Structure 1
Amino acid sequence: MTGTASAARKILVCDTTLRDGEQTCGVAFQVEEKVKIAQLLDEMGVDVIDAGFPASSQADQDAVRGIAALGLNARVVAFCRPNRTEIDLARACGANAIYTFVPTSDVHMRVKFGGTDSAVRERLKAEMADGIKYAKGLGMYVGCGSEDATRTPYDYLEEVLVLAQESGADLVGVADTVGSTTPDAFRTLISRLRSQIGVTLSLHCHNDFGLATANTVAGILGGADEVQCTINGIGERAGNASLEEVTVALTQLYGFETNVDLSRLKPMSDLIAGLSGIEVSPMKPIVGGNAFSHESGLHVSSVMKDSTAYEPLRPELVGHTRRIVMGKHSGKGIIAHVLDAHGLPYDDEVLAAVLLDVKAASVLTKSSVTEAQVIEIHRERTAVRP
């Protein structure tokens, strides 16, 4: 571990793949797919599932209803604005928990409500407080977040979140809606809010500057209790904080605890990639195809002796597998290993020749070379020998 956690705090994990993740351009999960994903997320140990936004479509209503009927261990949350109509709709879909939100930045208030004057601010706070109290009166678990919190003047942000808490919210959320904060600034912000917030403090980070995972971890170090993430980091624009990156970083680097079964991360990543049609980059940490792949001769030689030389964690921990590939950067060691595994004879001259051909084939095809190709190259090389 390279970081420090005060006392192995348990961090709650909220998955929002089915709601915010589905807002990825071109992604539309079918209702039955959402129900299947929710079941698997529950089995994986996710604490909260953001099941959808019932007011947005009939499909989301059906999905929330179907997921709520599963009787999962995870809390099933419906997303809504803090008005009684949308809260009633969420309730009618079987949800006993809601996450609601209020825009707090000047730009969001200006473009959505026509101004930033005190009258607008007071109206939004009154609507938020009424929505929270109404939902609590129905016996619901209520989370209330600040949209675009990181571009909101601090005093107003604190005022809104403290009011949400005083109105009965079980959770208050801080959203870096356009991914524009930095880890240092976010940790300071959360630490400051933590001194005023006694209920669960949740984080929702976007990845516009590639900092969603770093910001989420920084927020936890600042004292937050819950992370909101998506599988593979899918979501609007550049996406959300990646559940696999966040959970592994928190547990393996910082010593925090979560209920997530890390061995299910790679299979879940593959499922979401298939159902969403959003391919995972080979270089993506934790679940990418190259995350535990090795080609360089020096690296392969070392990994074959002790995998920790070039792997910070075991691939099995996250449900992945190690892959040794052959190509331009390979050395004699991996070629000898393949030939030995297949009982093929060779001497130094043959080994050097096969390696030379492997490198040439890799450059020519701009791809790795398979074991079958190595065997064929060996056959060709030994066939012409006197």
Structure 2
Amino acid sequence: MVVLNENTGILEKRCESYTLQDIEKPNLYKDIFNYDEIPKCVFDYKNIPISPAKNFWITDTTFRDGQQSRVPYTVDQILKLYDFLHLLGGEKGIIRQTEFFLYSDKDKEAALGCMERGYKFPEVTGWIRPLSKDLELVKDFGLKEVGFLVSSSDYHIFKKLNKTRQQAMEDYMSIIRKAVELEIKPRCHFEDITRSDFYGFVLPFANELQKLMVESGTPVKIRLCDTMGYGVSYPGASLPRSVPEIIYSLRTLAGFDSELLEWHGHNDFYRSVSNAATAWLYGCSGVNCSLLGIGERTGNTPLEAMVIEYAQLRGTLDGMEVSVITDIARYFEKELDYIIPPMTPFVGKSFNVTQAGIHADGLLKNEEIYNIFNTGKLLKRPVGVSVTQTSGLAGITLWINNNLMLDKNSKLDKKDPRVKKIKDWVDVQYQSGRVTPISDVEMIETIRAIAPDIFILTM
């Protein structure tokens, strides 16, 4: 079928018929994924055009994938985190959905508690295996949407499920049809899509889902699961690893609208954020994330990162309350005893803290020189400095002004003799063999001992 693309004004092929290739031996792409070597990134030089979806949004898997690599959250903790997600996503619901297991009593209690909050966003959805008994759980719970695990690579179909492609697709379609009959919207999680035979299985399966949508009038979503983090965003990269080509093909060849596509990436090769942003740019409306990126192995795409990425790509936060990111980070550290690596962007203790004296000098003159944006205003995290042997007069001055919260009329200059006294004390510490930074408590004690009148400026 040929259709006119309203965005580009040119004709494109849509919904070509792709026949399932029910091969006897699995296609494991061993030329790319030789297990004894680093995976190869192959190029076919196809020019895939950027075609962003009209709307971007974020979905959350903190209470599903995010619980698979840590101590499970308590019900109260889930409710608190759900409240944070609601506040962070804002009234427009940029954080659109969150998903739950429904197997244990605790999972059910938490999901029900979140539903009873009455928030429109994020919508509570479920996740199940493609089994009739699991679907009954969703029906009994009254959820409007559920995600099905529908593994798509031959690694999973042949080696994990011990099935043929035909058997796998028939089993998947059977349970998806049952969901539609029960008026439950299916979300199909194409597990391991970046190692899948796209023309031999992914597109034929997607075409069957497209037919089901036409017949039933029920929307069917596809979640593109980069389960092992193999996806790449490079122009001209080839399938099965190319994020742009995966999304382009599902949109133009299988006819799936952007609103029905969602990217779920892992960070095994440090690409989760760039791949998620690429998914948005090439026509995927949804990106699936977890708070702080916590998840299987190296984790999922950090939700807070995509909040910031949204603002960079759209030029607006669209009502998201970005300062809640800091509240979430503090909750994880203080209430959940979770250690956030200090250099982690946006949430780590040191993400906007400098130890270099030359940087501190620049910050003292104008913090825009060395701070990524107004972190004090947006994240409730004023730019900071750590006092070390390299901090110099500027670093110590900046520490005093920021930590004692001196206003613009009281702020010290690095030429102030009191700053020189404190620097002399710092120098002695490192001349004596110290290697660790000066703690905040030590700095306060030293100021009280050497220059106590500085505290008068805070009154």
Task: Tell me the percent identity.
Answer: 24
Q: Secondary structure at the match of 1:54?
A: coil
How far apart are the structure 2 equivalents of 1:275 and 1:194? 43
Contact kept? 1:361, 1:369, Cα under 8 Å:
no
Contact 1:48 1:76 in 2 (8 A): no
Q: 1:39 to 1:352 in 2, by over 3 A?
A: closer
Give the partner amino acid of 2:207: V
Shift of 1:379: 5.1
State the partner residue of 1:11.
56
CA 1:335–1:183: 2 relative to 1, 3 Å: same
Is 1:354 paired with 2:401? no
Determine the structure 2 residue equivalent to 1:283. Answer: 343
What residue in structure 2 maps to residue 76 of structure 1? 124
> For residues 350 and 76 of structure 1, what CA distance do their matches in structure 2 show?
57
Mapped to 2, the partners of 1:52 and 1:320 lie a distance apart of 32
Aligned to 1:384: none
Supply the distance in 2 between the matched residues of 1:105 and 1:83 (Cα, whole angstroms): 19
Aligned alpha-carbon RMSD (Å)? 3.0
Listed as ranges, the gaps of 5+ residues in structure 2 are 1-49, 214-218, 235-241, 453-459
C-alpha distance 203-336 of structure 1, shift in aligned 2 (>3 A): closer
The verdict on how the C-alpha distance between 1:369 and 1:37 changes in structure 2, with shifts beyond 3 A counting, is closer
Deviation at 1:8, TM superposition (A): 8.9
The two structures have a TM-score, normalised by structure 1, of 0.85
Identify the range of structure 1 (273-282 vs 298-307) with the bigger mean alpha-carbon deviation: 273-282
Structure with the larger helix share: 1
The runs of at least 4 aligned residues of structure 1 exceeding 4 Å deviation read: 5-9, 256-259, 273-276, 339-353
Residue 66 of structure 1 is matched in structure 2 by 113
Cα distance in 1 for partners of 2:413, 2:118 equals 60
Residue matched to 1:194: 251
User: Partner residue of 1:179?
Assistant: 229
Q: Which residue of 2 aligns with 1:163?
A: 208
Task: Kindly indicate whether the alpha-carbon contact (under 8 Å) linking 1:164 and 1:172 is maintained by their aligned counterparts in 2.
Answer: no
Alignment-derived partner of residue 307 in structure 1: 367
Partner in structure 1 of residue 280 of structure 2? 220
Name the SS of the counterpart of 1:216 in structure 2.
helix
Q: Quick one: distance in 1 between partners of 2:448 and 2:212?
A: 72
1:375 counterpart letter in structure 2 = I
1:30 positional shift: 1.0
- One-letter code aligned to 2:447: I
- Aligned CA distance change for structure 1 residues 133 and 274 (closer, same or farther; 3 Å): farther
| Matches of 2:333 and 2:205, distance apart in 1 | 37
Which stretch of structure 1 is more off in the superposition, 186-195 or 270-279? 270-279
Distance 1:343 1:254, change over 3 A: closer
Q: Which residue of 2 aligns with 1:383?
A: none
1:13-40 alpha-carbon deviations (Å, 9 max, x no partner): 101101110111x421112221222232
Q: SS at 2:344's partner residue?
A: coil
- Measured at CA, do residues 374 and 295 of structure 1 come closer, stay the same or move farther in structure 2, by a change above 3 Å? farther
Give 1:143's aligned residue: 187
Contact 1:11 1:258 in 2 (8 A): no
Alignment of 1:228-307 (within 5 A): 228-252=288-312, 255=315, 260-307=320-367
**Matched letter for residue 230 of structure 2:** S
In the aligned structure 1, how far is the partner of 2:247 from the partner of 2:153? Answer: 17
Show the counterpart of 1:33.
77
Q: Distance in 1 between matches of 2:374 and 2:275?
A: 25
Deviates more, 1:204-213 or 1:68-77: 68-77
Alpha-carbon displacement from aligned partner over 1:323-375 (angstroms, at most 9, x marks no partner): 23322221213435639968999978775453243244366150234341441
Q: Secondary structure at the match of 2:339?
A: coil
What is the rounded CA distance, in whole Å, between the counterparts of 2:95 and 2:415 in structure 1?
57
Given that residues 397 and 413 in structure 2 are in contact (C-alpha distance below 8 angstroms), is that contact kept between their aligned partners in structure 1? Answer: no
Structure 1: how far apart are the matches of 2:220 and 2:327? 33
Q: Distance in 1 between matches of 2:119 and 2:382?
A: 30
| Number of aligned residues | 370
**Structure 1 residues 142-151 or 158-167, which shifts more?**
158-167
- Matches of residues 103-114 of structure 1 in structure 2 within 5 Å? 103-114=151-162
Does the alignment pair 1:87 with 2:135?
Answer: yes
- Residue 430 (structure 2) pairs with residue 366 (structure 1): no
Who is 2:8 aligned against?
none
Quick one: distance in 2 between partners of 1:347 and 1:247? 41
Q: Deviations for 1:228-274, whole angstroms, at most 9, x for unmatched residues?
A: 00110001111110011122123225647666322211211222344
Q: Does the CA-based 8 Å contact 2:386-2:437 persist in structure 1?
A: no
Q: Deviation of residue 227 (structure 1)?
A: 0.6
Tell me the distance in 2 between the aligned counterparts of 1:258 and 1:149.
31
Aligned partners of 1:234 and 1:215: how far apart in 2?
17
Equivalent residue of 1:358, what SS?
A: helix
Post-superposition CA distance 1:114-140 (Å, at most 9, x none): 14xxxx222222222232222222222
Offset from partner CA, 1:53-96 (integer Å, 9 cap, x none) = 113x2322222222223222122111112333212202222322
Contact 2:192 2:228 in 1 (8 A): yes
Deviations 1:154-179 (A, max 9, x none): 11212223322332343211000011
Correspondence 1:203 to 2:231: no
One-letter amino acid matched to 2:175: G
